[in-house]
């Protein structure tokens, strides 16, 4: 970057102008409330490390690093661990983002290049109060068979994380990342702002699985954009397991190289008083690009779920489909599915969508009960299937998490 | 095995079944006939405990135990099983997963009945999604084979099934009903049929005609069919061949 200082000053100015700009979607809150110097301490003691470990496991992070190519771990603002497995040295780089920016001048060319710094107040706060995050780079041609894992853990009450991640899959590389964001049970409230910028180079394949495991009074605003070059593939899996106060996210994939492909799978379980506004935007700009966005949401308790999805095609040979399906498990929930299709100057582009919101079929439950399954077992079987049917290529860890999650669901008042 | 005593069933404000009484002894198979809308399916569903209808009078006794207020699954676990006329589509459930779950529950195997019923190609598909009529029936019979009920309630097994599949369905029902040879463990059935084709595969002991929610006569199933074929269901109302109820 020719003039880094000028560039950084411009970014700062744009962020400052956006400090009061609400997000396009989702409930608004003031991020400043969670920027206290002194965060609320949680009970320390011998249980803390055990609880941290349990929280990590819940978010897909294996502290033993079994069958992992490398790991990154951040607790609150502190990077605790960054390591590439011996077999993958020279194929993968994993390090704290600050360290990576010091090491590589060229990385500044990627900094805030995919996600606009002034998109809303949350990107602005993340930029102005940024602390931590990871840099993961899969080197050209590297075929990383084992997943790379990361964990962003918040263990202080009323605290916040403002992380910025950059993930680069270099030309012809292939890798899978499992990224967990989690709190320990003592943490009740807080904020997580996460910026993730993905650059999937020519012919590269990246599967990114994000598991969110928050607390019931947490506010979460992830901001992610992936840029795909020619024949690149990006699979984005998202799973929300636990109640959260508010979560709004609308990740975007920009397919700017011909033949690029993307698939977004979202499995959302809304519980208690969670307010969730989740979607994805796939922009198919080049010829022969393909996209698919599939969401499954189950609304329980008094949760409010907005399922969005938008396909934008500007190439005649682009094809994409969108599927948003939701089931209502309690009489006190609300859910909306809002699919959008947009074609810009490409009359032969092929976009389609399917959306449904409704209760679980009483007839189906009764049919299974006639085979001797209890109502809970029947509901669990149906919900488990609902959450997974149509979603392909789920990592095993997600399959297991969904199975465990649906085992505890009952039909409540329905 | 099954005693239905003075059963009156209402759906909303409408009486669907009125004072129905019948008894099926262990090892007996009874046939239920009647025009469309006469209440046949409602009677089977009421015995199984399915649907939104309300039982306003009467009781259902199974093996000496009153089951009128039991839930569907409680009745299933006591030994009742049902094959419905139109199986619902369950896009969420693969036949293999359900068969596996039931086999584990009932301590039986699903592989050999799946083979016998020519269901193997359906195992990895969502249950009844884009199934033909014959495939749906076979998938349901597979579930019943695993469940192995002692009292089998079957709603129009021929419905939507081609002639080739009727033989397969008929033989499977016959296998299901044969049960063990020990007399006190014999199985029973109550089968709704429109066409009577199923009588070529099953030895039915008794038949009933249900018209406008009332059982109007009972007798030998083949005799009943003969009368109905000649004179229609209206003929049952003034026929001397069978026993008027």
Q: What is the pLDDT of residue B241?
A: 60
Q: Is A196 exposed, middle or buried (0-12, 13-18, 19+ CB in 10 A)?
A: buried
Q: Are A190 and A154 in contact (CB under 8 A)?
A: yes
- Asked if the interface predicted TM-score (ipTM) of this complex is over 0.90, the answer is yes
A38 pLDDT higher than 60: no
Cβ–Cβ of A371/B147 closer than 8 Å?
yes
pLDDT band at residue A413, thresholds of 50, 70 and 90? Answer: very low
The beta strands (E) that lie in A258-375 are given as 261-270, 275-278, 281-284, 290-299, 304-313, 319-328, 334-343, 350-359
Q: Are A227 and A114 in contact (CB under 8 A)?
A: yes
pLDDT band at residue B232, thresholds of 50, 70 and 90? Answer: confident
Cβ–Cβ of B101/A381 closer than 8 Å?
yes
Cβ–Cβ of A382/B71 closer than 8 Å?
no
The pairing of beta strand A217-228 with beta strand A246-249: parallel
Angle at A306 between CA A301 and CA A307, to 5 degrees: 115
Q: pLDDT of A380-405, one tens digit each?
A: 889 888 887 666 656 676 677 777 77
| CA dihedral of A377, A381, A387, A391, whole degrees rounded to 10 | 160
pLDDT band at residue B240, thresholds of 50, 70 and 90? Answer: low
User: Which residue in chain B is spatially nearest to A391 when comparing CA positions?
Assistant: B92
Cβ–Cβ of A369/B73 closer than 8 Å?
yes
Q: What is the pLDDT of residue B160?
A: 81
The phi and psi torsions of A362 (rounded to 5 degrees) equal -60, -40
CA distance B188 to B177: 6
A37 pLDDT higher than 70: no
B183 pLDDT higher than 60: no
The pairing of beta strand A174-183 with beta strand A148-154: parallel
Q: pLDDT of A228-264, one tens digit each?
A: 999 999 999 999 978 999 999 999 999 999 999 999 9
Q: What is the pLDDT of residue A403?
A: 77
B87 touches chain A (CB under 8 A): yes
Please tell me the least confidently modeled range out of A47-61, A159-173, B54-68, B164-178: A47-61
A1 pLDDT higher than 80: no
Q: pLDDT of A127-185, one tens digit each?
A: 999 999 999 999 999 999 999 999 999 988 888 999 999 999 999 999 999 999 999 88
Q: What are the chain B neighbours of A382 within 8 Å (beta carbons)?
A: 90, 92-93
Q: What is the pLDDT of residue B195?
A: 79
A43 pLDDT higher than 70: no
Q: Are A63 and A57 in contact (CB under 8 A)?
A: yes
Q: What are the chain A neighbours of B48 within 8 Å (beta carbons)?
A: 370
Burial B24-52 (b: 16+ CB within 10 A, else e): bebbbbbbbbbbeebbbbbbbbbbbbbbe
User: Which residue in chain B is spatially nearest to A375 when comparing CA positions?
Assistant: B73
Cβ–Cβ of B88/A371 closer than 8 Å?
no
Q: pLDDT of B85-134, one tens digit each?
A: 889 999 889 999 999 999 999 998 889 889 988 889 999 999 999 998 88
- Which of 280-309 (A) contact B at CB < 8 A? none
Structure tokens at B139: 């998938």
Q: What percent of chain A lies above the pLDDT cut of 90? A: 74
Q: What are the chain B neighbours of A363 within 8 Å (beta carbons)?
A: 88
B77 touches chain A (CB under 8 A): yes
pLDDT band at residue A410, thresholds of 50, 70 and 90? Answer: low
Q: Give the distance, in angstroms, between the CA of residue A302 and the centroid of all CA atoms in the same chain.
A: 23
Q: pLDDT of A357-387, one tens digit each?
A: 999 889 999 999 999 999 988 988 898 888 8
Cβ–Cβ of B106/A363 closer than 8 Å?
no
Q: What is the pLDDT of residue A40?
A: 52
Q: pLDDT of A114-124, one tens digit each?
A: 999 999 999 99
Measured CA distances, A266 to A136, A165, B234 (Å)? 23, 20, 58
B126 touches chain A (CB under 8 A): yes
Identify any residues that bridge with B22 across adjacent strands, giving them in sequence order.
B4
Structure tokens at B16: 């669907």
Tell me how crowded residue A203 is: count the other CB atoms within 10 A of its CB. Answer: 21
**Nearest to A300, CA basis, from A245, A217, A243, A356:** A243
| CA dihedral of A384, A387, A393, A396, whole degrees rounded to 10 | -40
A49 pLDDT higher than 60: yes
Query: A375-388 vs A396-407: helix axis angle to the nearest 10?
Result: 150
Cβ–Cβ of B88/A374 closer than 8 Å?
no
Q: What is the pLDDT of residue B202?
A: 85
């Amino acid at each position: 970057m020719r003039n880094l200082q000028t560039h950084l000053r411009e970014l700062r100015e744009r962020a400052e102008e956006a400090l009061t700009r609400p997000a396009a979607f989702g409930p608004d809150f003031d991020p400043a409330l969670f920027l206290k110097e002194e965060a609320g301490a949680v009970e320390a003691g011998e249980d803390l490390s055990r609880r941290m470990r349990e929280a990590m496991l819940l978010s897909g992070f294996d502290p033993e690093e079994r069958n992992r190519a490398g790991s990154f771990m951040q607790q609150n603002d502190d990077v605790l661990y960054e390591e590439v497995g011996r077999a993958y040295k020279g194929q993968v780089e994993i390090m704290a983002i600050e360290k990576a920016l010091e090491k590589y001048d060229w990385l500044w060319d990627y900094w805030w290049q995919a996600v606009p710094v002034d998109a809303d107040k949350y990107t602005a706060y993340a930029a102005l109060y940024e602390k931590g995050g990871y840099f993961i780079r899969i080197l050209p041609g590297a075929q990383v068979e084992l997943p790379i894992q990361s964990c962003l853990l918040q263990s202080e009450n009323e605290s916040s994380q403002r992380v910025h991640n950059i993930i680069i899959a270099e030309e012809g590389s292939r890798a899978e990342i499992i990224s967990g964001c989690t709190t320990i049970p003592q943490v009740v409230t807080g904020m997580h702002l996460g910026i993730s910028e993905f650059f999937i180079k020519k012919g590269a394949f990246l599967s990114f699985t994000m598991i969110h495991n928050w607390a019931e009074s947490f506010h979460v605003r992830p901001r992610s954009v992936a840029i795909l070059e020619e024949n690149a593939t990006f699979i984005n899996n998202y799973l929300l397991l636990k109640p959260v106060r508010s979560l709004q996210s609308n990740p975007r994939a920009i397919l700017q190289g011909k033949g690029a492909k993307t698939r977004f799978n979202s499995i959302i379980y809304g519980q208690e008083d969670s307010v969730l506004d989740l979607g994805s935007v796939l922009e198919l700009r080049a010829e022969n690009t393909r996209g698919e966005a599939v969401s499954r949401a189950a609304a329980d308790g008094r949760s409010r779920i907005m399922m969005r999805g938008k396909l934008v095609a500007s190439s005649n040979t682009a094809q994409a489909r969108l599927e948003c399906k939701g089931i209502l498990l309690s009489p006190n929930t609300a859910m909306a599915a809002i699919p959008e299709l947009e074609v810009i100057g490409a009359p032969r582009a092929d976009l389609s969508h399917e959306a449904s919101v409704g209760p679980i079929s009483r007839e189906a439950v009764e049919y299974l009960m006639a085979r001797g399954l209890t109502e809970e077992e029947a509901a669990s079987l149906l919900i488990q299937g609902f959450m997974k049917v149509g979603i392909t290529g789920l990592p095993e860890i997600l399959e297991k998490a969904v199975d465990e999650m649906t085992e505890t669901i009952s039909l409540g008042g329905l | 095995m099954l005693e239905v005593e003075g059963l009156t069933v209402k759906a909303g404000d409408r009486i669907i079944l009125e004072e129905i009484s019948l008894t099926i002894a262990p090892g007996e198979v009874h046939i239920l006939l009647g025009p469309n809308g006469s209440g046949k399916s409602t009677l089977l569903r009421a015995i199984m405990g399915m649907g939104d209808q309300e039982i306003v009078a009467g009781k259902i006794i199974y093996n000496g135990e009153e089951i009128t207020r039991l839930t569907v699954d409680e009745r299933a676990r006591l030994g009742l099983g049902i094959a419905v006329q139109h199986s619902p589509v369950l896009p969420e459930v693969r036949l293999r997963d359900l068969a596996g779950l039931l086999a584990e529950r009932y301590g039986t195997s699903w592989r050999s009945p799946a083979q016998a019923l020519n269901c193997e190609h359906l195992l990895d598909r969502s249950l009844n999604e884009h199934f033909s009529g014959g495939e749906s029936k076979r998938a349901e019979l597979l579930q019943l084979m695993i469940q192995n009920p002692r009292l089998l309630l079957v709603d129009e097994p021929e419905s939507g099934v081609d002639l080739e599949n009727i033989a397969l369905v008929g033989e499977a029902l016959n296998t299901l009903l044969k049960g063990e040879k020990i007399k006190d463990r014999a199985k029973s059935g109550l089968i709704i049929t429109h066409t009577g084709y199923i009588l070529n595969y099953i030895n039915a002991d008794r038949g009933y005609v249900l018209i406008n929610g009332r059982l109007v006569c009972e007798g030998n199933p083949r005799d009943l069919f003969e009368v109905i074929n000649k004179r229609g269901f209206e003929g049952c109302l003034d026929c001397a061949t069978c026993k008027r109820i």
